[in-house]
Structure 1
């Protein structure tokens, strides 16, 4: 009897260890490249809406600091993202809008000078260009920094003033940050509606940073179609405040609209809104 109970307990421990290994895959190493969980989930469950459920219905429910990502709008298209382990990322880092501290990672797009700088702070450990410096190639980033996995999906950019003609093929990158179970996407300076292939590459996005400007990137109708198709739980507008109201009215009652009450937006898997929400950050 004692032997049978011992074997049963050993079997249960083995099953628990196997389940734990499935839920928490090991971090990548030189022999184990990173795998995008956002792509994997989206491919396994096509067509699903990836909103998370907050029992209270309040966007800023309490969450443990170990699972909370902080997002602060710096200006234009620059957000400062801080992971639970303290990794800091500045999006569309440039010579005008910069966080007060030196981030660990910066991403850039070279549509024009408010989205990149040729002279980043040399103390920045990882400078990720959204374009390739090699003609005919495209940027391809798959990098793990602490508890954040960063990858990109490229898109073309046109003449800055919309005069027609391609300025640079694959000159923009949609950067995706996978951290604390969240998939956070920054559309950069997006000029064209996404293709089916690009949607597949992006996968699931829980939080979406989207440029609103009425036409410098894309018109409101086109941009709103992309937002609806991506089905993110939390949408953060950026870029041009003058076009914000025009962007907001493009969405029906299925989207809740709110205004951040704090400069820092705290997001976790457990407090994403039940209903897709466009949350206007302070400073926008």
Structure 2
């Protein structure tokens, strides 16, 4: 599979067979700008404009925005109920974590997770090989919270998202930089334009993979 980051919490996974899965497309109001994209599957973690802009996506795609188990285009997907804040959703609402099985690799996208997981949520999410996790704080868990969730889910590869970048401009001041998460985690990190993973090479990317926004 290939994993590409389009900024904020938006990623595209392309399977070995060419199936395209787009996660949390945003309205172009953040400093980031989505290119023209087509997808077979689009998932949205919650109903905020910086995560649910399915109108930006072309193609006859399946839109998944709920809880439970789904199967689309040969991809198994599980949606797990979580919250956007530390107060059971009373401040910012609910959030769905999705765990995708693509090419025999489990990729977990945390959306705007706002809290440490409980035991039931960890069990529901299940095995995680690649974790896409917010680390910037402000509107989600911060770097310390993200480190705790990493310990809970035990992924091989951690891809940070939802943190301060130059593209965000003044809006970025609401978030911490990715360096804070890297320092707090104590894990090795490497920058990549995109990742190309399979069961044979995934161990080579162990640790934090910082994807570049272009």
Q: Which consecutive unaligned segments of at least 5 residues does structure 1 have?
A: 1-68, 130-138
Q: 1:123: how far off?
A: 3.2
Provide the rounded CA distance (Å) in 2 between the counterparts of 1:118 and 1:74: 14
Provide the rounded CA distance (Å) in 1 between the counterparts of 2:63 and 2:204: 35
After superposition, give the CA deviation of every residue in 1:12-51 in whole Å (9 maximum; x if it has no partner): xxxxxxxxxxxxxxxxxxxxxxxxxxxxxxxxxxxxxxxx
Provide the rounded CA distance (Å) in 2 between the counterparts of 1:240 and 1:124: 31
Provide the rounded CA distance (Å) in 1 between the counterparts of 2:202 and 2:60: 30
**1:166 matched to 2:91:** yes
Provide the rounded CA distance (Å) in 1 between the counterparts of 2:191 and 2:70: 33
- SS state at 1:250 partner: helix
**1:282 matched to 2:212:** yes
Q: Is the 8 A contact 1:94 1:108 kept in 2?
A: no
Of structures 1 and 2, the larger Rg is shown by 1
RMSD after superposition = 2.3
2:102 pairs with one of 179, 201, 212: 179
Number of paired residues?
A: 198
After superposition, give the CA deviation of every residue in 1:174-228 in whole Å (9 maximum; x if it has no partner): 1111011100000000011101000000111000001121332012211111112
Q: Is the 8 A contact 2:25 2:54 kept in 1?
A: no
TM-score normalized with structure 2 length = 0.83
Query: Which residue number corresponds to residue 201 of structure 2?
Result: 271
Instruction: Single out whichever of 241-250 and 77-86 deviates more from structure 2.
Output: 241-250
**1:112 matched to 2:42:** no
Query: Which residue number corresponds to residue 46 of structure 1?
Result: none
- Select the structure with the greater relative contact order (CA < 8 A; seq sep ≥ 6): 1
After superposition, the Cα gap between the structure-2 partners of 1:122 and 1:190, relative to the gap in structure 1 and judged at 3 Å, is same
- SS state at 2:149 partner: helix
Provide the rounded CA distance (Å) in 2 between the counterparts of 1:111 and 1:158: 14
TM-score normalized with structure 1 length = 0.64
2:160 pairs with one of 237, 242, 245: 237
**1:149 matched to 2:83:** no
1:248 pairs with one of 178, 182, 185: 182
Provide the rounded CA distance (Å) in 2 between the counterparts of 1:111 and 1:71: 23
After superposition, give the CA deviation of every residue in 1:45-98 in whole Å (9 maximum; x if it has no partner): xxxxxxxxxxxxxxxxxxxxxxxx010111111011001111101111223353
2:121 pairs with one of 161, 183, 198: 198
Matches within 5 A, 1:42-191: 69-96=1-28, 97-110=33-46, 112-117=48-53, 119=55, 121=57, 123-129=59-65, 139-158=66-85, 165-168=90-93, 171-191=94-114
Q: Which consecutive unaligned segments of at least 5 residues does structure 2 have?
A: 165-175
